[in-house]
């Protein structure tokens, strides 16, 4: 990123922070289900972003995809370091009896949905969360996920198809009665 | 919610129209997902605090030295800086700085012609004996950690009589190379550019001219952290315990010193993990304490300096180089000293003594001198074997001015061969330099009451 001075650079970064802080926190919370962990990882994300801000090249990707990528990798690093295994990306990949802290009410609230959401692919789940929970447009999601808008729509469609097929018959019947 | 669901569905139908047939199911699924959305419980105070932290961080980034005066980030940033400094020392060499050569990790010796250091007056270390109670032991900087728990044997009045028992030897060399550490002032020069960005609110630093950083001290703010002192005038770095973050209780009894092998391994590990360049230093070995009977919890591991492949000794005859103090009580390294430039100047000097004179000086205790207790002191005979020529680090003055200069001079090293009964003062070698003047007026060996000693021995 080209800036006239460090002061301008700093102003730019603070604007970015103001714009993305809550979104990044939410994004991380959806992947951790734990307030303190989400705060720590949000801090880490922005400190990393600040340290690399000078080298950010907007010609190689959008700012939002850059900062979300840092957040995503920070979460992955957190779980992989914590569990000392390589196939965990976020809280959704943890087993039910995991001893990693999760907020109780979030765990309860997600109890039913989690059974189905955790069977989605990681990128599909991320798009569902961003589209439904965060209410972002596909254009915004495409910038965050480094994907095309059409690709995001396809991924969301596949996720919905999977959820339809995943929902057990008695749940669907119950849903349809209301 | 209805509007959002409707929009999601419309977009979905555009991708795959067949979904329209399952609209009721899809609405329920989306409703279910929306209902299960976690309450992220974002804390606005956290957002504000992080914002403040980022602004502070950025200020630190903008001016790399302002952090030294910002307590909140001083230690973290300082730690980063010191490792950059230690690791970066090796890269400063020959960067073409003005007014000095950058500090180097690679040995570089520059021939500066004959007698380039002027007339050499050698300083004795004899005074150290008399002042020993006031000194920190362990050879390394900051080695006072164990003083409270070390046990000194009662001082006994013992006189040592040195006698040469070795074979005949000859000094073949007419000229020998003397080395001097080149004071490149490289750290000061290298840091000078950083000074340009240094700002204080209280004083306009820009109003002062020809500024340079002469020293900085940096501390790790963590349990068992270290304090790193960078002396940019003499181009050396020492690492000591951060007193504020190490337990400083007064212990009632000493703990047993760890095994030598463990101390060396611990020192090796510390050196490796902190990137200290050892390219002109030999293997580490535990240094014998200069004072026999001195019970220390600490062990000093010395990595002997080797100039052009020749190991260097100190005035007392012990190996000289980088010293790593290892604390047995805390099971970790307590200090490192002697990290310095590997740049030397070399100058040829004529050998000033012959074999007879060398033996005479050796029998007076050599460069370290000798002491004599008057009265009823015991006398112990110390036998010296055939000498070898080795390099010895000395502090010397040039010409008629006694300005400290660290020189490395070839010297005859006479080994102590009879395993005498030392009391508190231990020596393994007696040193006699081949060049330079040993005179009392210039701090040479003190030969107190030598005549009286001779008289005692003959009686």
Mean pLDDT throughout B162-176?
A: 90
Highest-confidence range of B11-20, B241-250, B269-278, by mean pLDDT? B269-278
Question: CB B359: neighbour CB atoms within 10 A?
Answer: 22
Query: Would you list the DSSP string of B132-191?
Result: GGGSPPSSSTTGGGGTTT-BPPPP--EEEEEEE-S-------SEEEEEEE----HHHHHH
Indicate which of A113, A135, A150 best probes the interface with B, i.e. most B CBs within 10 Å of its own CB.
Answer: A113
| Residue A82: per-residue pLDDT | 65
Please state the separation of Cα A45 from the chain's center in Å: 12
Contact (CB, 8 A) for B58 and A53 = no
Quickly state the pLDDT bin for B214 (edges 50, 70, 90). confident
pLDDT greater than 70 at residue B352: yes
Can you give the length of chain B in residues? 459
| Residue B234: per-residue pLDDT | 74
Quickly state the pLDDT bin for B33 (edges 50, 70, 90). confident
Quickly state the pLDDT bin for B52 (edges 50, 70, 90). confident
| Residue B66: per-residue pLDDT | 36
CA A157, CA A45: separation in Å to the nearest integer?
A: 30
> CA-CA-CA-CA torsion for A175, B1, B5, B10, nearest 10 degrees?
150
CA B146, CA B294: separation in Å to the nearest integer?
A: 11
CA A61, CA A65: separation in Å to the nearest integer?
A: 7
Q: Collect all residues with Cβ–Cβ distance below 8 Å to B148 and sequence separation of at least 6.
A: B250, B251
Q: Collect all residues with Cβ–Cβ distance below 8 Å to B7 and sequence separation of at least 6.
A: none
User: B329, B332, B333, B304: which is closest to B319 by C-alpha?
Assistant: B304
| Residue B148: per-residue pLDDT | 31
pLDDT greater than 80 at residue B54: no
The C-alpha of B61 sits at a distance from chain A's nearest C-alpha, in angstroms, of 8
Question: What is the model's pTM?
Answer: 0.49
Instruction: Look up residue B80 and give its two tokens.
Output: 């980063």
| Residue A85: per-residue pLDDT | 52
Contact (CB, 8 A) for B382 and B161 = yes
Q: Does A153 touch chain B (CB under 8 A)?
A: yes
Q: Of the candidates B25, B55, B62, which has its C-beta nearest A172's C-beta?
A: B25
Least confident of A2-11, A57-66, A161-170: A2-11
CB contact under 8 A, B33 and A128: yes
pLDDT greater than 80 at residue A42: yes
pLDDT greater than 70 at residue B95: no
Q: How much is the ipTM here?
A: 0.82
Least confident of A88-92, A110-114, A127-131, B442-446: B442-446
Greatest Cα-to-Cα distance within chain B, rounded to the nearest angstrom: 124
Which residues share a beta bridge with B343?
B108
Question: CB B415: neighbour CB atoms within 10 A?
Answer: 16
Q: Does B26 touch chain A (CB under 8 A)?
A: yes
CB contact under 8 A, B38 and A109: yes
CA B269, CA B264: separation in Å to the nearest integer?
A: 9
Least confident of A45-54, B84-93, B164-173, B355-364: B84-93
CA B81, CA B88: separation in Å to the nearest integer?
A: 10
| Residue of chain A whose Cα is closest to the Cα of B28 | A175
CB contact under 8 A, B62 and A10: yes
pLDDT greater than 50 at residue B114: yes
| Residue B40: per-residue pLDDT | 79
Q: Of the candidates A26, A47, A131, which has its C-beta nearest B8's C-beta?
A: A131
CB contact under 8 A, B55 and A10: yes
Q: Does A42 touch chain B (CB under 8 A)?
A: yes
Q: Does B2 touch chain A (CB under 8 A)?
A: no
Mean pLDDT throughout A116-129?
A: 83
Least confident of B116-125, B130-139, B267-276, B415-424: B130-139
CB contact under 8 A, A109 and B32: no
Quickly state the pLDDT bin for A45 (edges 50, 70, 90). very high
Per-residue pLDDT of B422-456, as tens digits, reads 665 667 888 899 987 754 433 344 343 344 444 44
| Percent of chain A whose predicted confidence (pLDDT) is above 90 | 10
């Amino acid at each position: 990123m080209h800036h006239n001075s460090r002061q301008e650079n700093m102003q730019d970064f603070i604007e970015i922070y103001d714009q993305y802080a809550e979104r990044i926190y939410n994004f991380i919370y959806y992947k951790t289900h734990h307030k303190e962990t989400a705060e720590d990882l949000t801090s880490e994300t922005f400190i990393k972003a600040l340290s690399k801000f000078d080298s950010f090249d907007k010609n190689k990707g959008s700012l939002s995809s850059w900062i979300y990528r840092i957040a995503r990798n920070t979460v992955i690093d957190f779980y992989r370091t914590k569990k000392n295994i390589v196939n965990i990306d976020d809280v959704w990949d943890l087993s039910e009896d995991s001893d990693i802290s999760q907020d109780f009410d979030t765990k309860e609230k997600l109890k039913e949905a989690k059974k189905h959401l955790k069977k989605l692919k990681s990128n599909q789940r991320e798009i569902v969360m961003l589209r439904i929970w965060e209410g972002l447009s596909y254009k915004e999601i495409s910038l965050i996920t480094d994907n095309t808008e059409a690709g995001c729509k396809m991924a969301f469609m596949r996720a919905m198809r999977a959820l339809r097929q995943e929902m057990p018959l008695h749940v669907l019947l119950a849903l349809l009665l209301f | 919610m209805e509007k959002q669901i409707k929009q999601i569905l419309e977009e979905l139908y555009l991708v795959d129209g067949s979904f329209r047939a399952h609209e009721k199911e899809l609405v329920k699924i989306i409703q279910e997902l929306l209902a299960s959305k976690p309450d992220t419980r974002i804390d606005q105070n956290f957002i504000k605090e992080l914002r403040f932290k980022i602004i502070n961080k950025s200020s630190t980034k903008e001016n790399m030295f302002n952090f030294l005066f910002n307590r909140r980030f001083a230690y973290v940033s300082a730690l980063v800086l010191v490792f950059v400094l230690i690791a970066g020392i090796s890269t400063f060499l020959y960067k073409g700085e003005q007014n000095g050569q950058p500090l180097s990790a690679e040995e570089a010796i520059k021939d500066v012609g004959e007698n380039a250091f002027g007339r050499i007056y050698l300083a004795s270390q004899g005074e150290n004996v008399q002042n020993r109670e006031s000194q920190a032991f362990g050879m390394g900087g900051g080695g006072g950690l164990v003083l409270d728990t070390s046990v000194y044997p009662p001082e006994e009045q013992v006189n040592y009589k040195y006698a040469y028992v070795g074979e005949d030897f000859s000094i073949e060399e007419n000229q020998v190379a003397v080395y001097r550490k080149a004071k490149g002032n490289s750290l000061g020069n290298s840091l000078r550019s950083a000074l340009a960005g240094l700002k204080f609110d209280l004083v306009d630093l820009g109003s002062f001219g020809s500024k340079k950083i002469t020293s900085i001290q940096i501390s790790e703010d963590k349990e068992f952290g270290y304090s790193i002192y960078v002396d940019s005038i003499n181009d050396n770095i020492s690492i000591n315990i951060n007193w504020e973050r190490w337990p400083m209780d007064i212990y009632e009894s000493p703990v047993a010193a760890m095994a030598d092998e463990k101390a060396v391994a611990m020192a090796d590990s510390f050196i490796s993990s902190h990137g200290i360049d050892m390219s002109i230093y030999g293997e580490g070995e535990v240094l014998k304490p200069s004072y026999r009977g001195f019970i220390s919890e600490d062990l000093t591991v010395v990595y002997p300096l080797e100039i052009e492949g020749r190991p260097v000794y100190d005035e007392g005859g012990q190996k000289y180089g980088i010293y790593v103090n290892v604390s047995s009580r805390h099971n970790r390294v307590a200090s490192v000293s002697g990290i310095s430039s590997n740049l030397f100047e070399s100058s040829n000097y004529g050998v000033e003594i012959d074999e007879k004179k060398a033996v005479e000086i050796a029998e007076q205790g050599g460069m370290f001198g000798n002491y004599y207790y008057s009265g009823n002191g015991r006398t112990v005979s110390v036998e010296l074997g055939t000498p070898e020529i080795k390099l010895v680090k000395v502090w010397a003055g040039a010409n008629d001015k006694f300005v400290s200069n660290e020189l490395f001079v070839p010297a005859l090293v006479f080994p102590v061969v009879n395993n005498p009964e030392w009391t508190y003062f231990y020596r393994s070698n007696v040193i006699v330099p081949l060049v330079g003047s040993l005179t009392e007026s210039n701090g040479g060996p003190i030969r107190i009451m030598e005549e009286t000693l001779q008289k005692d021995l003959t009686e």
